[in-house]
Amino acid sequence: MATNINPTRMELTRLKNRLATAVRGHKLLKDKRDEMVRQFMIYIRRNNDLRQKMEAHLLAVSKNFSKARAEMGYLSMSEALLYPARSAEFEVGEKNVMSVDVPTITYTGATEEDTTEVPYSFAFTSSYLDSSVMDLTKYLPELLELAEVEKTCNMLADEIEKTRRRVNALEYVMIPEMQTNIKFITMKLAENDRASTVRLMKAKEMMNK
């Protein structure tokens, strides 16, 4: 606080330099926060589109699985799905979004032309099961993208909150406190200057007498 600082010109210069740095940092952090919010809104819209799309697709797949189980029976369907058609291959990396390292998930498995592969014979299964398995294979790349986008949204939201707290700390605590300290030191130095001037005038007056 202002009452706990040393009112010297050196301290005044140091505080003025700190205040200038804090003001620049505050502006940069506000710009960063605003750009992060803009990026966040882009990812949020993409996440919303993907989620609605995948929920509709997975609802249809779930209905087909239910129809297949009604036709084949639970045990027969479980035996048909005992082994996967292929492994789910993907690469995990990261990219930088406004100084935040967010994950990237790239599907590297079978392409859409290979989605007719199933782990069982068509002769003993329901057509509903066939379409469900092939649809899930087709939707896997978009499911991975949805996971990537959702994680990015979460990480950006956390970083936006941290940046917001830093901006508020500078704007409402540190900068006002430094301004108060500078004002206090300036007033003290002016008071000391006036006192010195008065003493000099009295000393000169005494010497003249």
In a domain, 208, yes or no: no
Task: Answer whether residue 198 shows pLDDT above 60.
Answer: yes
43 neighbors 146 (Cβ within 8 angstroms): no
How many structural domains comprise the chain?
Answer: 1
Residue 74 structural domain? 2-200
Domain of residue 149, CATH code = 1.10.287.3240
125-172 pLDDT, tens digit each: 788 888 888 888 888 889 999 999 999 999 999 999 999 999 999 999
Asked whether residue 209 is assigned to any structural domain, the reply reads no
The whole model's pTM is what? 0.77
- Reported as a single tens digit per residue, the pLDDT across 40-56 is 999 999 999 999 999 99
Domain annotation covers residue 122: yes
- HEC profile of 3-22: HHCCCCHHHHHHHHHHHHHH
Which residues, listed in sequence order, are joined to residue 175 by a DSSP beta bridge?
A: none
pLDDT tens for 102-113 read 999 888 876 655
Q: Is 98 left (phi over 0), alpha (psi -120 to 50) or beta?
A: left
Phi-psi region of 103 (alpha: psi -120 to 50; beta: other; left: phi over 0): beta
* Residue 20 pLDDT class (50, 70, 90 cuts): very high
58-70: pLDDT as tens digits: 999 999 989 988 8
Q: Confirm whether 24 is domain-assigned.
A: yes
Per-residue confidence (pLDDT) for residue 1, from 0 to 100: 47
| CA 191 from centre of chain | 50
Mean pLDDT, range 188-208, rounded to an integer:
81
Give the integer Cα–Cα distance in Å for 23 and 51: 41
| Residue among 18, 36, 16 at smallest CA distance from 26 | 18
Question: Two tokens at 110?
Answer: 């079978």
Contact 149, 103 (CB under 8 A): no
**CB-based contacts of 151, cutoff 8 Å, min separation 6:** 102, 103
What does the pLDDT read at residue 207? 78
Instruction: Kindly state whether residue 205 falls inside one of the protein's structural domains.
Output: no
Q: Do 57 and 139 meet the contact criterion of CB atoms below 8 Å apart?
A: yes
Radius of gyration of the chain (CA): 34
Rounded CA separation 56/135 (Å): 12
- Is residue 193 in some structural domain? yes
Within a domain: 44:
yes
